[in-house]
Amino acid sequence: MLVKLLNWLFYGLCMSVLPILISWYVVCYMNDKTPAYNLISILSKGELLIICSTILGVNIGELSTDSVQLRWKPLKIVLVALSIILSLFTLGAYVAVTVLADKTNGMALDSSIVFLLATIVICVSSIALPKAEG
């Protein structure tokens, strides 16, 4: 399980967020404003919401193909349902951020962080499910 968790942390999470980090570095290099201000301006565009939705989609796919021990099947169903619901909410938040861009500056940043944390919790819980043997 530890190998799968580390694999997910590096390839699933870090590689997904890497474009945002590179953009942040470039903007910090080109701007004379503080790094925190630049990060807020990048996250306010809603890209992190798309990344959350994509990570959740991969989680749904992995959960639907993995077989878990029989006593953990109800939890698997709950995690799939939570992943679907959270993915729909992240997509809805992204639409709200892009359509109402001038009115939702704070919403984009706050919702991006909340949805990222919820995505991490759901995906780590999914990885921790005991797999069926054989």
Q: Is the pLDDT of residue 50 over 60?
A: yes
> Residues 107-118: pLDDT tens digits?
778 888 999 999
User: Rounded to the nearest 10 degrees, what angle do helices 73-99 and 105-128 cross at?
Assistant: 160
Residue 118's pLDDT is what?
96
| DSSP β-bridge partners for residue 68 | 131
All structural domains of the chain with their residue ranges: 2-128
Q: What is the mean pLDDT of the chain?
A: 87
Alpha-carbon distance of 105 to 103, in angstroms, equals 6
pTM to 2 decimal places: 0.85
Residue 23 near residue 65 (C-beta atoms within 8 A): no
Residue 15's pLDDT is what?
92
